[in-house]
Amino acid sequence: MGESTNKDPMSFLYMNLLADILMQETVEFENEFRIKMEFIRDQEKLCFSNAKNLVSVDQFLRTLNGTLLKLEMDLNENENLLIQAEDTVTILERSCVNVPEQRQCRVDPLVRATYTDLLRLLMSTEKSAVQCNSLREEIEAYNNEVSGKLMPVNVIGQIMDFHNRTLDTMEKQINLLNVQIEGLKKEFAEMAKREAKLLLAASLPHVPCIPEPKPRKPCPKNLRI
C-alpha cells in the first residue's frame, strides 16, 4: 500500500507535464495558423488590387484597340488615295508619250488641289507612322511592366490549396491532441479511483483477523451391555 502511495505523486507530475506540453503545442499551432491566415488575407487583398488594376488595363487596351483601328482605317484610306494619285500620274505619262508631234515629253505642272492632296497624304502617313511607333513602344513598355508586377493566373488556386493543406494539417493535429487528451482523462480517472480506494481503506477501522474455531469431532459413544 505504501509503495503505490509513493508512486501516485510522480504519476500526477508526469500527467501535469504532459498536459503542459500539449497546451504549449496547441498555442504554437494557434500562432502558426494565425500567421498563415494573415498571409492568406494579404494575398487575397493583393488579388483584389490586381483585379481592380486589370479592369483599368482592360479599359486602356480597349482604347488602344480603337485607336489602332482608326489608324488602320486612315492608313488604308491614304493608301487608296496614293494609288489613285499614282494612276493619275501614269495616265499623264502615257498621254505624254503617245503624242507623236512632240519629241520630248511635256511636263505638266500639278494642279494645286492635287499637290495639296498629295502633301496632306504624306503628312498624314508620316503622322500615323509616328503614332503607331509610339503606341508600339508604349504597349511594349506596359507589357514589360505588367509581366513584372502581375501575379500568375493560378495564384488564387495556389492560395486555396495552401489554405486547404493548412486546415488539413490543423485538423490532424487537433485530432491527435483530442486522442491524447482522452488518454489523459482515462489516466486521471483511474488515478482518482485508486486514490478513492486508498482513502476509503485508510478511513476504515483496523479489525484484526480472528481465526474461526475449528469444529470439534464428536466423541464416539460406547454402548455398554
Mean pLDDT for 157-181 is 74
pLDDT of residue 3: 44
DSSP-assigned letter for residue 101: S
**Each residue's pLDDT tens digit, 2-60:** 444 445 666 677 777 877 888 888 888 888 888 888 888 888 888 888 888 888 877 88
CA distance 134 to 123: 16
Residue corresponding to grid cell 494557434: 30
Q: How many CB atoms lie within 10 A of CB 145?
A: 10
Give the range among 38-52, 97-111, 122-136 with minimum mean pLDDT: 97-111
Q: Where are the domains of the chain?
A: 10-200
Report which DSSP code applies to 98.
T
The residue-averaged pLDDT of 149-159 equals 62
Cβ atoms 125, 72 nearer than 8 A:
no
Supply the Cα-derived Rg of the chain in whole angstroms: 51
The pLDDT tens digits of the residues spanning 183-223 come to 777 877 787 788 778 777 777 765 555 555 666 655 555 54
